[in-house]
Amino acid sequence: MSGPATGAAGVFQARDAHYIDGKWRPAAGEERIDVVNPTTEQIIGQVPAGDARDVDAAVRAARAALPGWAATAPAERGALLAAARELMSARRAEIAATVSAELGAPPAFAAAVHANLPISVMRSFATLAAEYEFEERVGNSRVFQEPVGVVGAITPWNYPLHQIVAKAAPALAAGCTVVLKPAEDTPLVAQLLAAILDEVGLPAGVFNVVTGLGPVAGQALAEHPDVDLVSFTGSTAVGRRIGAAAGAAVKRVALELGGKSANVVLPGADLAKAVNVGIANVFANSGQTCSAWTRILVDAERYDEAVGIATEAAAKYLPGQRLGPVVNAKQRERVRGYIRRGVEEGARIVAGGPEAPEGLGTGYYIQPTVFADVRPEMAIAQEEIFGPVVVLIRYEDEEDALRIANGTVYGLAGAVWGADEDAAVAFARRMETGQVDINGGRFNPQAPFGGYKQSGVGRELGAHGLAEYLQTKSLQF
């Protein structure tokens, strides 16, 4: 690592401050986080490593702002979100360049997904704020949907702006106020969003950002007694602890955790399409997608053909071009460790491997890796690897496929491919998972997203996502 380097063109300039109560406020302590570009391994900025004092100041600001924001008409809240969407759109290139710099996403993917997806999610909540029925009649009662209160949002680095907007937009639409602790690896786009919300004139204290480390700032936020709801996206290990602490304090919690989703290719499905789309689904974002279909399930008869298709498809993901680096050196070592473990377990590498890709001087790159002869109980078929690694598992019949698909602790997403759509839908209904794409159905930013089993608690996006930030009150007449 060398540095400090000057900011690349179009990248948001790091602020050495937290965004609290409508102002950029100096941190209480001296600690700083270096933001590193995973492609160049250079330091591109520094942000404060906040501590409990910063978190407390932000929570106080959010608490003070709550009554006014909760009483603001939903349509007016929606209008501010619509203005934020406009500004995000105007600064789309800066968003893409910033995510590209701090996450390492290839520029085309950063623009198409890391910038565009949160813009469309912001739009959907601007609309929902204005159109949602916050009040209903039930017999002699009027039932009101009221904001839960102060939200503590803790987000990861893999879709850094999307995961922030998927929490902040519905929370703000609902009338909640927010304190965000973004991932230490990707704080710049969080600061950029704060600058945008500041510019649209969101009232002071309604949205706050404290940058910092998970076990320090994150934990202080999750355990703060004046936070009413903790919304967390990240690893199951940390989510479990946050859920336990929230349970003990009797506060609401939403957990968006890991996955090991199955891509089930039924006999008779278009095999080439299913495998090619499946490979693209995993290798996008360098495999760092919680909903990635990291297990491809193919019937015994067509298994060898599927392995050939997957091997050819993987070859198109050239590291340094279509395939970006993973986020940091630690993740690279973790992913390589899984690749070595797969070999030790007796799986067969048909593309990639644990060695660094050739010809790249810097960057946390991993070869796009495909494993064949994978048994469902192997660690590489059970654990979330979070890198460009996919496993192909053979099944005997549909019952066997269903047993394998459901045979992990996770249940976040999945895919089913079949010649008969009704049969594919029937299979998907038996999967223990929160989302299933049938024959390549495209991502819907308004469909509820969230996990069965250990993939989480609660749903994000759309009206279901908004409901997470509401609590009900009944008045009888």
Quick check: helix, strand or coil at residue 32?
A: strand
- Strand pairing partners for 47? 33
Residue 387 or 418: the one with the smaller Cβ distance to ligand NAP is 387
List the interface residues with ligand NAP, window 182-241 (CB under 6 A): 183-185, 213-215, 218-219, 222, 233-235, 238, 241
Task: Find which of Mg ion, ligand NAP, none residue 183 binds, CB within 5 to 8 Å per kind.
Answer: ligand NAP
Helical ranges in 254-325 per DSSP H? 271-283, 303-315
Contact 138, 122 (CB under 8 A): no
Q: Coil, strand or helix: which one is 151?
A: strand
CA 243, 247, 253, 254 torsion: positive or negative? Answer: positive
Give me the catalytic one of 102, 290, 460, 468. Answer: 290
Residue 149, classed as helix, strand or coil, is: coil
Residue 299 or 460: the one with the smaller Cβ distance to ligand NAP is 460
The interface partner of residue 219, options being Mg ion, ligand NAP, none and the CB cut-off 5 to 8 Å by kind, is: ligand NAP
**Region 173-232 residues binding Mg ion, contact defined as CB under 5 A:** 214
Q: What is Dmax (Cα atoms) for the chain?
A: 75
Residue with tokens 């399409």: 273
Binding mask 165-184 for ligand NAP (x = CB under 6 A): ----------------x-xx
Annotated active-site residue in 41, 102, 256, 460: 256
Q: Closer to ligand NAP at the Cβ: 168 or 290?
A: 290
Residue with smaller CB distance to ligand NAP, 189 or 257? 257
Q: Which is nearer to ligand NAP, 47 or 222 (CB)?
A: 222
CA pair distance 254, 241, nearest whole angstrom: 12
Interface mask toward ligand NAP for 328-357; x: CB under 6 A: ---x--x-----------------------
Q: Is the dihedral of CA 353, 379, 266, 422 positive or negative?
A: negative
- List the one residue from 116, 155, 231, 294 that touches ligand NAP (CB under 6 A): 155
Q: Give the binding-site size for Mg ion (rule: CB under 5 A).
A: 1
Which residues lie below 8 Å from residue 403, measured CB to CB, with a gap of 6+? none
Cβ-closest position to ligand NAP: 214
- Mark whether 133 is an active-site residue: no
Q: Which does 346 bind (CB under 5 to 8 A by kind): Mg ion, ligand NAP, none?
A: none
- 384 forms part of the interface with ligand NAP (CB under 6 A): yes
299: its two tokens: 């019937």
Query: Rounded CA gap, 403 and 298, in Å?
Result: 13
Task: Map tokens 């003990």 to a residue.
Answer: 248
Residue 69, both tokens: 């924001």
Sheet containing strand 141-147, edge to edge, reads 135-138, 141-147, 470-476
Catalytic residue flag (residue 41): no
Q: Residue for token digits 């349509």?
A: 75
Judged by beta carbon, residue 151 or residue 269, the one nearer ligand NAP is 151
Counting contacts by CB under 6 A, is residue 51 touching ligand NAP? Answer: no
Cβ–Cβ < 8 Å for 148, 228: yes
Shortest approach of ligand NAP to residue 236 CB, angstroms? Answer: 7
**Between residues 222 and 366, which has the closer beta carbon with respect to ligand NAP?**
222
Work out whether 317 is an interface residue with ligand NAP (CB under 6 A).
no
27, 116 in Cβ contact below 8 A? Answer: no
Query: How far is CA 240 from its chain centroid?
Result: 17
Beta pairing, strands 150-154 & 177-181: parallel
Size of the site for ligand NAP (CB under 6 A): 29
Alpha carbons 72 and 66: distance in angstroms, whole number: 10
- Minimum distance from CB of 263 to ligand NAP (Å)? 18
Give the pair of three-digit tokens for residue 31.
């600690």
184 binds, among ligand NAP, Mg ion, none (CB under 5 to 8 A by kind): ligand NAP
Nearest-approach distance from CB 82 to Mg ion, in angstroms: 34
The contact set with Mg ion (CB under 5 A) reads: 214
The contact set with ligand NAP (CB under 6 A) reads: 154-158, 181, 183-185, 213-215, 218-219, 222, 233-235, 238, 241-242, 256-258, 290, 331, 334, 384, 386
Catalytic residue IDs: 256, 290
